[in-house]
Amino acid sequence: MSARRTRTHLAGDRGQVSVEFLGMLPTIIVTLVVVWQFVLLGYTYTLAGNAADEAVRAGTAAHPGGDRSAACAQAGRDELGDAWQADAEVSCGGSGFVTAEVTLHVPVLVPGLIDFPFPVRAHAGAVEEEDGD
Structure confidence at residue 64 (pLDDT): 63
Does 133 fall in a domain?
no
Does 77 fall in a domain?
yes
pLDDT for residue 103 is more than 60: yes
Does 109 fall in a domain?
yes
Structure confidence at residue 51 (pLDDT): 92
What's the domain range around 118?
2-127
Edge-to-edge strand list for the sheet holding 89-93: 89-93, 97-107, 115-127
Structure confidence at residue 128 (pLDDT): 77
Does 36 fall in a domain?
yes
Q: Are 111 and 85 in contact (CB under 8 A)?
A: no
- Counted domains in the chain: 1
Q: What is the pTM of this model?
A: 0.75
pLDDT for residue 58 is more than 70: yes
User: Where residue 10 falls among pLDDT bands split at 50, 70, 90?
Assistant: low
User: Where residue 78 falls among pLDDT bands split at 50, 70, 90?
Assistant: confident
Does 15 fall in a domain?
yes
Neighbours of 78 (CB within 10 A): 13
Does 132 fall in a domain?
no
